[in-house]
Chain A
Amino acid sequence: MGRRFIYLLMAAPVQVLLLAVIGMPAIYVLWLSLHKTAFGQVPEFVGLANYGFVLSDPYFWRAFVNTFVVVNIVVYVELGLAVLMATLFASGMPFRRLLISIVIAPYAVSEVIAVVIWKYMLEPDVGPVSAILASLGLPELAWTTDRWAAMTMVALLSIWLHLPFSFLILYSARIGLPKDLYESAATDGASAFDRFRYITVPLLMPAILVALMFRYVFAFRLFAEVWLLTGGGPARQTEVLATYLYRHAFRYQEFGVASAIGWLMVLATLLIASGYLRAMYKRMLTGDA
């Protein structure tokens, strides 16, 4: 009992720190979400009215669908590419260091600059990508007028920006896998695909789950790519949850509504992440691989 108390005491500073920097703001936002307030207004308790407003707002549901679709495309395409590239790079390809530098370079580019670059590349009249599409007889990507073309561009941009994160996690996990397993499998006549299917994927799964969960959480907060590229337009067709929240918080100063949106985003993220958390728990803590 005495030893247990000392353990708790030693862990207390971290608990206090977590409570202070994560718990308190979250509780304050929860409190705000139950009030109607703006600058110069005394908060007025409104119960669950803010949640009711948000859940009955068609713009919220459009933003939710956009976010859900883009996040799933971004996360799975990105992870697929990261697994393939990690496998390719670990197999000992030439100029590996140079190529790794190129792959992780977008991580050093700020989101604002990335949006400006991509916006220019896909500019209808003078953009180089538009010119290539035109020279191939293909139509321009109508990302300023078509909802799904815009969301495709947002997804491409997001994958380009964040691929290095998934790649670094999976590449470091892949080069840590024991070589003798691959040598034994090769001796037994396993093809390259079999080795990938039966050795690489199962052994990489814990790292894949970690990358998946982190990317889900980060991607759900997708903001700069949409806000800077389309501003949520045309006609609010490309709005995502984070831009919807931003609009209510900082343009309309509806802090109660914005807080409710924030909490709904947290709950949605938790719901999606819970499946992966459960799988991670099973695989990593109980050794049920």
Chain B
Amino acid sequence: MNFDSFGEFLAMGGHGFYVWWSYLLTAVVVSWILVWPLWRRRRFFEEQRGRLRRADALGQQTEVESNAPET
């Protein structure tokens, strides 16, 4: 351990302001990078669920490109 007390750890030898702002900013950006794809994915499933439900209620065949490549 490089620091003698928790207070010294927070102070970072007088550079605490810069160090902790950098790490806070990184935490925010990294969280956004990880959450954004998941959030988009959830929204996609919600939209599709709504679309399929409406189609089922109308008793319609869900429109699917039957000739779309299956690969």
Interaction A to B: no
